[in-house]
Amino acid sequence: MRSPRWTAALTGVAAGAVIVAVATVVAALLGVSNLAGGVPSPLLAVGAAFIDATPAWLKDWAIATFGDRDKQVLVAGMLLVITLVCAGIGLLGSPRRHGGLGRSRLALTALAILGAGVLVVVLLRPGAVPLDVLPTVVGVASGLGALHVRWRRGAGAAGPDADRRRVLRWAGATTAVGVLVAVLGQLVSGRERAESGREDVVLPPIDDPVSVPAAAQVDVEGMTPFLTPNEEFYRIDTAIVPPTLDAQRWRLRVHGMVRQEVEIDFAELLEQPMIESLTTLACVSNTVGGNLVGNAVWTGWPIRELLARAGPEPGADMVLSTSSDGFTASTPLSALTDERAALLAIGMNGEPLPVEHGYPVRMVVPGLYGYVSATKWVVDLKVTTFADDVAYWTPRGWSERGPIKTSSRIDVPAPSAEVPAGTLVVAGVAWAQQRGIAAVEIRVNSKGPWHPAELAAEPTIDSWRQWVWHWDAPVGKHTLTVRAIDGDGEVQVAAPASPAPDGATGLHTIYVYVE
């Protein structure tokens, strides 16, 4: 009796689990000597390469569909593809397809070719060094060894039911252990070190701390908090797993079109006179009415002070910032040297930056979308020109400068809510960083007049502003539309446009059912 094809497929899957598990553990062990927080595992390297190749329309779709869970979906999809590929390799070695040793040799060759392809991807990652290939080499070698040993013992060949059961037990146990080891290895790879180091960071005292008045928060049930809790703050970046940097080894280099190169470490950064900035960050992929926007108090050192040490040369108009994972952003030099609170941030809402939000140091620049300004895990600033350098998203179809557009959102009531007739409270937020919000207006149904909303206090023009409007709601189905007017008197753009290439436009509209 021959082993069924699915037994051979499961053997291939088990070999794949061995590869991923061993490579992840080796990457975690080697990561202690890597500034970026870990030598790439093949899974993360392939995932990062996929993100790098993502066009603007696909990025928009993924974020609109999955929000800040897009990375989890990507990893799940990758694991599914890996499972199918490894199952195919297992089938390739099935005796129903080839005879004798030829069946196993063909499958082993296919697995080796697959591993070679992953090695190329690893070496093409930004900042790759020869050591980065070691996890993949050891992982693939382990997978090849597991298949070879299993097949030499008769796995996948004709045999009694008892042999088939041994194969299934081996494959099932190997797969389960491999997946568990891979998950644990990834979780442990630098995360504990980063969290431990983060707990040791003490934010320096601030001479003029930010004070948020109670009047900035409207008293409406279900309303968005004026300050977004760190654990609820949106996260959109190109890192599948957040880099886990060691603050004691972190360095920031300033170079390019400067009179002198400058380098600063974390200890020196902590000694600088820090300020606090109440700033709303927004992702360029945020759709009209979306939640990829958050408001926080950031603690940091003004970037203009660091750039002044380097002395930008005449003609420079851009700073290309680089993350430890290779991501780059193109920020106008003027936005980093004027009086706005553009920071090398080390704190968020009174505590050290969370790992997911850039620990130990990130950039926060009011008035610009995050993809051109809010570089997390920042390690390099190159003073240059827009003519000479391009950032990560520019060649992928996004604009190079990314100023934030005036936007507004209805938070209460919820879309399609069923509400009783009578006085209905309508509330939400509006933002226009560097310009502020001068007015918010609400319209009931498409041809109704615009009604002025009551504005909450505005502690700074760089943060969003809450608003509230009371409506005598009649029975029926109605639409509610909001628009904002910024501090320059410009009305929010009503014409709808998708996020690419420089941010969405349009007016947030919801339906409500009044009973």
The stretch 20-29 carries a mean pLDDT of 76
386 or 62, which is more confident?
Answer: 386
Confidence tier at 97 by pLDDT (50, 70, 90): very low
Residue 35: DSSP 8-state: T
58 or 439, which is more confident?
Answer: 439
Query: How many angstroms separate the first and last alpha carbons of the chain?
Result: 70
Q: Write the CB contacts of 130 (distance below 8 Å, at least 6 apart in sequence).
A: none
What is the pLDDT at residue 181? 54
- Which candidate, 403, 244, 422, places its Cα nearest to that of 334? 403
CA angle 505, 507, 510 (to 5 degrees): 135
Alpha-carbon span 324 to 187, nearest angstrom:
19
pLDDT digits (tens, 9 = 90+) for 29-86: 675 434 444 455 777 777 777 777 777 677 777 777 777 777 777 777 877 888 888 8
Tokens representing residue 71 in the block:
């990375």
Confidence tier at 160 by pLDDT (50, 70, 90): very low
Tokens representing residue 215 in the block:
């009047």
Tokens representing residue 372 in the block:
């051109």
Tokens representing residue 75 in the block:
């990893």
Alpha-carbon span 47 to 52, nearest angstrom:
9
The stretch 218-222 carries a mean pLDDT of 95
pLDDT digits (tens, 9 = 90+) for 506-515: 999 999 999 9
Alpha-carbon span 504 to 406, nearest angstrom:
10
Cβ(105)–Cβ(123) below 8 Å: no
What is the pLDDT at residue 341? 97
The stretch 179-187 carries a mean pLDDT of 52
- Which candidate, 328, 320, 404, places its Cα nearest to that of 369? 404
Three-state SS at 482: strand
Phi/psi-derived region of residue 290, left when phi > 0, alpha when psi is between -120 and 50, beta in every other case: beta
Percent of the chain with pLDDT over 70: 84
Whether residue 173 has pLDDT greater than 60: no
What is the pLDDT at residue 299? 98
302 or 110, which is more confident?
Answer: 302
What is the pLDDT at residue 73? 79
Whether residue 289 has pLDDT greater than 80: yes
pLDDT digits (tens, 9 = 90+) for 192-204: 666 768 888 999 9
What is the pLDDT at residue 94? 67
Instruction: Characterize 14-43 residue by residue with b for buried, 16 or more Cβ atoms within 10 angstroms of its Cβ, and e for exposed.
Output: bbbbbbbbbbbbbbbbbbeebebbbbbbbb
Question: 453 exposed, middle or buried (CB, 10 Å; 0-12, 13-18, 19+)?
Answer: buried
| Stated pTM of the model | 0.80
Q: How many other β-carbons are positioned within 10 Å of the β-carbon of residue 309?
A: 13
pLDDT digits (tens, 9 = 90+) for 334-366: 999 999 999 999 999 999 999 999 999 999 999
What is the pLDDT at residue 2? 45
Maximum average pLDDT range among 18-22, 98-102, 254-258: 254-258
CA angle 50, 134, 47 (to 5 degrees): 10
CA 176 to chain centre: 29
Q: How many other β-carbons are positioned within 10 Å of the β-carbon of residue 77?
A: 12
Q: Write the CB contacts of 201 (distance below 8 Å, at least 6 apart in sequence).
A: 247, 270, 346, 352, 360
Percent of the chain with pLDDT over 90: 57
Maximum average pLDDT range among 161-165, 182-186, 480-484: 480-484
Confidence tier at 120 by pLDDT (50, 70, 90): confident
Tokens representing residue 73 in the block:
């979906």
What is the pLDDT at residue 75? 74
The stretch 390-407 carries a mean pLDDT of 93
In sequence order, the β-bridge partners of residue 510 are 480
pLDDT digits (tens, 9 = 90+) for 406-435: 999 999 999 999 999 999 999 999 999 999
What is the pLDDT at residue 108? 85
Confidence tier at 465 by pLDDT (50, 70, 90): very high
Please provide the average confidence, as pLDDT, over all residues in the chain: 86
Amino acid in position 181: V
Whether residue 147 has pLDDT greater than 80: no
